Copies of this chain bind each other. A is one copy, B any other.
Amino acid sequence: MSRRDVEFVLYDWLGVETLTERARYADHTRETFDAVLDLCEEIAEERFAPHNKINDQQEPSIADGRVVTPHDIKKALDTVAGACLLGAGMDAGAGGLQLPQVVQTACFLWFQAANISTWAYAMLTIAGANLLLAHGTDHQVATYARPMIEGRYHGTMCLSEPQAGSSLTDLTCRAEPREDGTFRIYGNKMWISGGDHELGENIVHLVLARIPGGPPGVKGISLFLVPKYLVQPDGVLGERNDVVLAGLNHKMGYRGTTNTLLNFGEGTYRPGGEPGAVGHLVGAPHQGLAAMFHMMNEARIGVGAGATALGYTGYLKALAYARTRVQGRPAGAKDPAAPPVALIEHADVRRMLLAQKSYVEGALGLVLYCGRLLDEERSAADDAERTRARLLLQVLTPIAKSWPAQWCLRANDLAIQIHGGYGYSREYDVEQHYRDNRLNAIHEGTHGIQAIDLLGRKVVMDDWAGLVALEALVRGTVERASAAEGEARDLAAALDRSLARLVEVTRTIHTADVPAGVRLANASLYLEAAGHVVVAWIWLEQFLATSDRDDDLRKGKRQACRYFYRYELPSTGPQLDLLARLDTTTLETDGTCL
């Protein structure tokens, strides 16, 4: 990661220092923010980066029924926990540092860039603890969330089942009530990251399951806390619960994170003398999905941040390589005796670097802006401000998840290309970043799921309030830029046209007489076009935020902004045209003729 760029986004663009004027963050100053950034950078470099390749080479395995992981994973996680960083964004009362979300998101980028698969254990634990803080009972917080924040227990999110990946409607895990108020869980969960390991004392599974007799579909799903080891009232670990590792999945990348099939309640263990995994209801019955989505929305922005960090670190490596590797001569140079030049001197290499810069710095702006919105939602003095932040966050979450997953993967692809054959070899880092990053368009809701969420739900929610808020946000920047110097005015005009077209197309798609199938048929293209418009907005914001500077950062930001407006934003034209005419090619395709 580039500390200079992160500081630019935090302080110059997003004015994060002003948050310290609010009661929630009054104990903080820019100095404390910077100190945590320093700390994370240092731990990432010393404890995370050195075993990134080891994680890739020494995939977790099972020996004597236990999961074996490289030793360095536990050391890294313990260091993070020891520095109280798992609670970086949590309330002081819960044992946290009560940092703004935007600062926490920035801090964690270093861990994600250095070693995403080790960091995933921490991320899952933080998300689980946050969910319990929001929806758990005092007892659940004290018994489970506290040791998670301390790094003694780890967390998982158990949604998918072997027969139901993206389709939560079809979950079949069963939760039978017992007289003592507990439940017994039965069923299988698939793709569970961190589902088993020996990295801490206990694992707290947060599991979606159905209480018999509840409504069908997603309205009958409840959320349960299912520990690997039962916890006695005094906090001492008790019996093994009936949750069993059924197998490890072997992935293309992200290999350090165990990914598991878990069996619940098959009777391997008999807690209290009875088969069935003991579970504790979290929140109200049948309201599990809403509570899980508390965690899921946070996880989705976390996925976007992870994709950003992987793209960013690949970009920096490609840049360093292009500056030092000497190869070929400029176009038109005929003299073979002239000395060769650095790769960066070639226009096509610069194009690939500019593309990467525009993707990874655009994505960085997007995920940090989302963090800033979370802080507004939590701490803005004004009710209307909080509502606006909530709306924007809801609209932007599918974009903040998908856009970095798509384009920072593309950045990793270009980093390989700049390295040539070296980039394709495992002796260099960039191919691993590419493989690791490929997961991000799949987990926590695929690209297609995010697309339906954005077009089918978010833009129309609350009588179009989400879209209206987004439009106002972008238009505000357009107006500010239009009042500025010449070039900003041109960029503003281009953004304004794209925005107007996006809004117009959105309204067309949601005209009353368009059938639901047609409406969502090209949702993925809509997600991509909307993403590019939003990132063009971020680039104009960053362009404006460099106004007072006169340095390399200003030059680089402005050039990447120009690249984005010239090479990238125009691609939304054909996409929006296709959406505007409600193209039905896919619907008319007879599946048998494929």
Contact = CB atoms under 8 A, between A and B. Distances in A.
A270 interface: no
Interface in A200-227: 216-218
B594 A344 contact: yes
Given A340-B170, A354-B594, A424-B442, A587 B347 contact: yes
Contact of A251 (B165, B323, B346, B425): B425
Contacts of A317: none
B435 A252 contact: yes
A522 B443 contact: no
B251 A424 contact: yes
Contact of A166 (B328, B351, B451, B521): B328
B443 A421 contact: yes
A504 interface: no
Contacts of A154: none
A512 interface: no
Contacts of A351: 521-522, 524, 586
B347 A586 contact: yes
A438 B420 contact: no
Given A446-B417, A566-B585, A585-B562, A169 B217 contact: no
Nearest to A416: B438
Nearest to A517: B331
A357 B577 contact: no
Nearest to A559: B589
A167 interface: yes
Contact of A578 (B416, B456, B566): B566
A107 interface: no
A451 to B, nearest CB: 7
A484 interface: no
Given A340-B167, A559-B588, A593 B552 contact: yes
Size bracket of the A interface: 35 or more
A448 interface: yes
Given A332-B517, A571-B574, A574-B571, A420 B354 contact: no
A190 B421 CA distance: 9
Given A340-B167, A552-B593, A566-B578, A519 B421 contact: no
B515 A332 contact: yes
A149 B357 CA distance: 49
A165 B216 contact: no
A162 to B, nearest CB: 10
Contacts of A345: 591
A451 B272 CA distance: 70
Interface in A556-570: 556, 559, 562-563, 566-567, 570
A11 B570 CA distance: 41
Given A327-B167, A556-B594, A593-B552, A160 B421 contact: yes
Contacts of A587: 347, 350
B319 A594 contact: yes
Interface in A325-377: 326-332, 336-337, 340, 342, 344-351, 353-354, 357
A570 to B, nearest CB: 4
A191 B555 CA distance: 38
Contact of A424 (B167, B331, B438): B438
A249 interface: yes
19 contacts: A165-B327, A166-B420, A167-B328, A169-B340, A170-B340, A217-B337, A331-B516, A331-B519, A332-B517, A348-B521, A354-B589, A417-B447, A420-B446, A424-B442, A552-B592, A555-B590, A559-B593, A566-B578, A574-B574
Given A252-B426, A357-B594, 13 more contacts: A164-B327, A169-B328, A249-B421, A331-B516, A331-B517, A344-B594, A348-B448, A348-B523, A354-B586, A417-B442, A421-B443, A435-B435, A571-B574
